[in-house]
Amino acid sequence: MRHERPSTSAFGLLIFFLALEPAASRAHSAQLGKVNFPTSCTAEVQPTIEQGVALLHSFQYTQSEKSFAVAATRDPKCAMAYWGTAMARYYQLWEFPNDKTLKQGRKDIEKALKLHTASPREQGFLNAAAAFFEKKSKMTHVQRTQAYSAALAHFYRGNPGDAEIGSFYALSLVSLAEEDSDTTENLEKAISLLEGLLRQHPDHPGVAHYLIHATDRPEFAAQGLDAARRYAAIAPDSAHALHMPAHIFVRLGLWQDSITSNIAANAAGAHAAEMHQAESHYQTHAMDFLSYSYLQSGQEAKAREVIEHTNHVVGASDEVKADHRAYLAARTALELHRWTEAAALAIPAIRKNWEDTTYWARAIGAARSGDVAGAESDLKELTELVADREKRSKKSGYTVSTEKATDLREAEAWLAFAKGKTEDAIEELRAAADRQDKNGGESVGIPAREMLADMLMEVRRPAEALAQYRTVLKNSPNRFDGLLGAARSAQASGDAGSAQSFYAKLTQVCDPSADRVELAEAKTYLAEK
């Protein structure tokens, strides 16, 4: 599929030219980091196996599966080729394999086990994979992951310091944390293991990658910065490796670093999609972070260009393009506090179960515009969508919290506020904020606690609002609206020193070409001091 770029978009032009560089590099061997994965397979396929493992470490699953398939064709007795094919079907941290995929993975592992490898090391990897792809249909997601992790823990105890075994084991711990299984304990264990391995293996793609994932929470983010600085250089031919550092950059409010990372990742993802080596989500995921980072650095026009660029995502279906466009448009309207724009968002012609973000933004936008009837109508739709979303998650084997969904709580709170039920609204947002803080929060989302602070400002309780904004900025440093809200609430509370500090920080974190209108307020305040 030909990648058409918009002729008037600076963003599109930059993506086009950046996309040329990876194409030229394909004349040389792919740069995916250093892995040491000895096997009993023939010498001819050993480089292909190691390339497959390196791709696996960078979540380039389609390319990884193809590499292992090539190895299996060239050496049908290579057990680890079938192991690799199975593991490339397990998209850890992205989505859990469905029944069909589990069955396919189990067949791969059974084929590998029948080859009776004499290598204890290979047997250890096969045993761990067999524990995950176990035939028992009643096993939950958590139970499969626990079985896999326990097998890897045993394997690693017998091979301490092994970067391959250790990194896969650490990833299994992060997977358990993602399933809400002893989250803090498992993340701390993974971080400790990976930090030690990174010192010994500074060019290993899995070690750096998984350390970023393990530290992708407010309380751990600073511990992932070294890995974030390294990973893109370790595996520059992986679109996902180019993007991943942004997870830490966003957590720490390093907007330009995130922008640079995601422009490169989107270009690499577009090239890979053109070569039929990767799916479109490597582009859309990078665009999600890019849009967010533009907004936080005060660049509204560029953030809106990203929305327009969704029409040019290589390899994406029209439905996927429409879904991603709707999601970015909804978040952008709320980030910019354009309430009438949010309330008037078009309902995209896509699967109904993909419309929850649009109705969430419409409900909040209508409520904040004073349109109670419109907010009630959109909230009704959102409520149905959330119920369906949770039903589908349960059916797919995911654990669903017994607490009310955060997006639903936020919309209900603003509707209650519009109806004059101020205290009910505040308590609803406080509950949403507490839950979000406990779970680490979405790194590229609008914090519920920031909404709570905004609401407190609306009812002229600036001192309380300032306390909430401070917490927001602790968890999400350098957020544009967090800094702006903190400055306004400090000013309203009579705390001129804090107001000046927050306004100064806002101007500091914004790009020199920033065009968000609120910046004029900050510059005027600072000029008068």
Mean pLDDT for each consecutive 10-residue tract of the chain (529 residues)?
Answer: 33 39 41 95 96 97 96 97 97 93 96 91 97 90 96 97 97 95 95 98 97 97 98 96 98 98 96 90 96 98 97 94 96 98 93 88 98 98 95 87 93 98 98 94 95 98 98 98 98 97 98 96 92
**Sequence-distant (≥ 6) Cβ neighbours of residue 170 within 8 angstroms:** 189, 190, 193, 194, 197, 207, 210, 211, 214
CB burial readout 26-54, b (16+ within 10 A) else e: eeeebbbbebebebbbeeebbebbbbbbb
- What is the structure's pLDDT at 29? 56
Give the integer Cα–Cα distance in Å for 410 and 382: 11
The predicted pLDDT at position 197 comes to 98
Q: Which of 363, 307, 364 is closest to 332 using CA atoms?
A: 307
At residue 21, the pLDDT reads: 39
Closest C-alpha among 278, 265, 240 to residue 33: 240
Longest C-alpha distance within the chain, in Å?
Answer: 78
406's CB contacts (< 8 A; 6+ apart) are 432, 435, 436, 448
Spell out the domains of the chain, with CATH numbers in brackets: 32-235 (1.25.40), 447-529 (1.25.40.10)
Global pTM? 0.92
